[in-house]
Amino acid sequence: MRPLCIFIVDDHTGFRALIRELLESCAAVLQFGPPRIVECASAEEAMSAAETMQPDLVTMDLHLPGVDGNECIRRLRPLASRAVIIVVTHLRDRFISERALKQGADAVVFKDDLNAIPVLVRQHLTLGWPA
């Protein structure tokens, strides 16, 4: 089984580190082996990385410098059609969540409830993890 490829897209270093820890432990529990994690501080970095790597999982902040998270999701979805995309945001606005889902996100998690990320990863990745 190939290693899980994860993109963490957030312009805040601390949030990327926190999400990395959550996802590393989740991958270990699911026995995917050590994941390959790519940290991106902008949408442009994520889109550039997607040209050479196929992500299996993407966590995406919506407020990014330059291209915002919704536009990044829209552009990434065709490049990574099988990837699970989880928006991680502090904005508790139904319109914002709905827009992210329409752009191609699979789920929305609020930054004050990061423990929901491993639950969503388990739900989505165990259903059809590619070998």
Each residue's pLDDT tens digit, 50-78: 999 999 899 999 999 999 999 999 999 99
Q: Assign 32 a pLDDT band (cuts: 50, 70, 90).
A: low
Residues 6+ apart with CB under 8 A from 89: 61, 62, 63, 69, 96, 97, 100, 108, 109, 110, 111
Q: Based on the structure, what is the number of domains in the chain?
A: 1
Cβ–Cβ < 8 Å for 73, 87: yes
Across 1-126, the runs of DSSP E, i.e. the strands, are 5-9, 36-40, 57-60, 84-89, 107-110
Q: Is 115 helix (H, G, I), strand (E, B) or coil?
A: coil
- CATH number, residue 77: 3.40.50.2300
Instruction: List the domain range (segments joined by +) for residue 60.
Output: 5-128
